Amino acid sequence: LARALLRDPATISVDEARRPAAGIDQRVIHVARADKRAALIDLLAAESCGAHERVIVFARTRRGAERLSRQLVRAGIPSAAIHGDRSQAQRERALEGLRRGRVRVLVATDVAARGIDIPEVAQVVNFDLPTTPEAYIHRIGRTGRAGRKGAAVSLCGEQEGALLADIERLIGSRIPAEGRPLAAAAAPAAPRRGRHRSARRRAA
């Protein structure tokens, strides 16, 4: 039916929608949650990440995006945040700053990043892994467009191993990783009251 009604219809398979663009170099860095900010600053300061290249950093929450943007600015990295609490005018200023080179890093939430078009993004960084694997495809699809090369780096904390596994299951391959996966800290066991009571009785 589509071929009868449309001229040269494009066909997109489900498998293609699940695969990142071939030009995107993906990697994972296993790092403790408390060390993520330092790891991000080191990543942005590395020689492989050009000082004038556009970078989008994804955070999970509005508050987290705002805080991270301020921390990058304090570290000397020109940055701006876009999230649901920002007005349309504030979002447009942030995007214009990125396009004109006044801002190097855009820290965004998934919702705020929908529908925006930023050409020539060199790198996408997942500061927080997305809660759905499909969001990973959408995030890193901001780079490596129009046949260009791009990079996607995910900082995987000790609580995010399951999210990474879901992503790798969706794309059908393991993502090259630096460091070893970190075990989530176990919650301290609650004291068993009965034992203490019996001990006190024996001591009495």
3-state DSSP of 165-182: HHHHHHHCCCCCEECCCC
Q: Which of 48, 14, 42 is nearest to 29 (CA)?
A: 42
Q: How far is CA 153 from CA 15, 72, 95, 185, 190, in A?
A: 22, 17, 21, 24, 38
For the domain covering 23-183, report its CATH number: 3.40.50.300
pLDDT of residue 64: 96
Which parts of the chain sit beneath pLDDT 50? 1-6, 8-14, 16, 186-187, 198-204
What are residue 182's phi and psi, to 5 degrees?
-95, 135
Structure-block tokens of residue 139: 């995030």
CA dihedral of residues 150, 65, 117, 89 (deg, nearest 10): -150
Interhelix angle for 161-171 vs 133-140, to 10°? 70
Q: Which of 188, 184, 186, 187 is nearest to 30 (CA)?
A: 184
pLDDT of residue 50: 63
- Amino acid at position 162, single letter: A
Round to whole Å and give the CA distance between 163 and 131. Answer: 6
Q: Nearest 5 degrees, angle CA 45-CA 47-CA 50?
A: 80
Which residue in the block uniquely carries the two structure tokens 């630096």? Answer: 178
Helix %, strand %, coil % of the chain (to 5): 40, 20, 40
Round to whole Å and give the CA distance between 118 and 95. Answer: 8
